[in-house]
Amino acid sequence: DTGVSQDPRHKITKRGQNVTFRCDPISEHNRLYWYRQTLGQGPEFLTYFQNEAQLEKSRLLSDRFSAERPKGSFSTLEIQRTEQGDSAMYLCASSTTGTSYEQYFGPGTRLTVT
Amino acid sequence: AQSVTQLGSHVSVSEGALVLLRCNYSSSVPPYLFWYVQYPNQGLQLLLKYTTGATLVKGINGFEAEFKKSETSFHLTKPSAHMSDAAEYFCAVSTYGNKLVFGAGTILRVKS
């Protein structure tokens, strides 16, 4: 069990550029979640998948954001036309469906939009 | 809708003293409750959880929390603080194991 991994760990981009982040969940976990955390705040839910199906999206997820989990394994989160307000830590978590639903988090991708 | 309120954005204790971090939640259905810890520039680590059953739950590193339905609370405690406990702590609630709703966090400072 190698835990949840995220790539890259840090991303600096210029306003207006597109960025894509990757998350690899714990191998036997069928649920995958994306959260966003800004400085001094708790993480906020963005979206989650069960296998390859995207089951819920937050209203925080504007049409510039898109997430995929094409084969029910890794997931990507893309932000188009980045804005300075997108600067944040993007966290990925995974879990199984069952009695506890514990979510295990990756180290996060810190995005800075200049 | 669910929500979490963490009382005190910063808590300072002396090494060896009791740690008490407060969490109150709002949920229209039976909640699942969690405490996570976050060290600088890292992801979140699960400390403990309450789903059903025993209302006093024990977690890692000597932490425990008690679910009190009548008070809608899930406060985190540790009898004796250690320097390594200095971090940010988040309380979170979910229903039926879906998305987590987090509080704003409490930064714990441990003084030597």
Q: Note whether A70 contacts B: Cβ–Cβ < 8 A.
A: no
Separation of alpha carbons A15 and A112, rounded Å: 9
The beta strands (E) that lie in chain A are given as 5-7, 10-13, 19-24, 31-37, 44-50, 53-57, 65-68, 75-79, 88-95, 104-105, 109-113
**What average pLDDT does the segment A84-97 reach?**
94
Identify whether A8 is preceded by a cis peptide bond (ω within 30 of 0). yes
The overall average pLDDT reported for chain A is 93
Res A99: pLDDT: 63
Q: Under an 8 A CB cutoff, do A40 and B105 touch?
A: yes
Q: Under an 8 A CB cutoff, do B102 and A56 touch?
A: no
**What average pLDDT does the segment A79-93 reach?**
96
Residues 36-55 of A with CB under 8 A from B: 40-45, 48
Res B97: pLDDT: 67
The residue ranking higher by pLDDT, B35 or A1, is B35
Q: Under an 8 A CB cutoff, do B49 and A95 touch?
A: no
| Contact list, A48 vs chain B (CB under 8 Å) | 98-99
Is the predicted pLDDT of residue B64 greater than 70, yes or no? yes
Res A1: pLDDT: 56
Res B95: pLDDT: 79
Contacts of A98 (CB under 8 A, 6+ apart): B97
Res A108: pLDDT: 95
Res A101: pLDDT: 78
Is the predicted pLDDT of residue B77 greater than 80, yes or no? yes
Q: How confident is the model at residue A33 (pLDDT cuts 50, 70, 90)?
A: very high
Q: Under an 8 A CB cutoff, do B92 and A42 touch?
A: yes
Q: Under an 8 A CB cutoff, do B42 and A108 touch?
A: yes
Q: Given A97, A101, A105, which is nearest B44 (Cβ)?
A: A105
What is the residue type of B39? Y
Rounded to a whole number of angstroms, the distance from the CA of B15 to the nearest CA of chain A is 25
Contacts of B43 (CB under 8 A, 6+ apart): A4, A91, A105, A106, A107, A108
| Contact list, A93 vs chain B (CB under 8 Å) | 44, 100
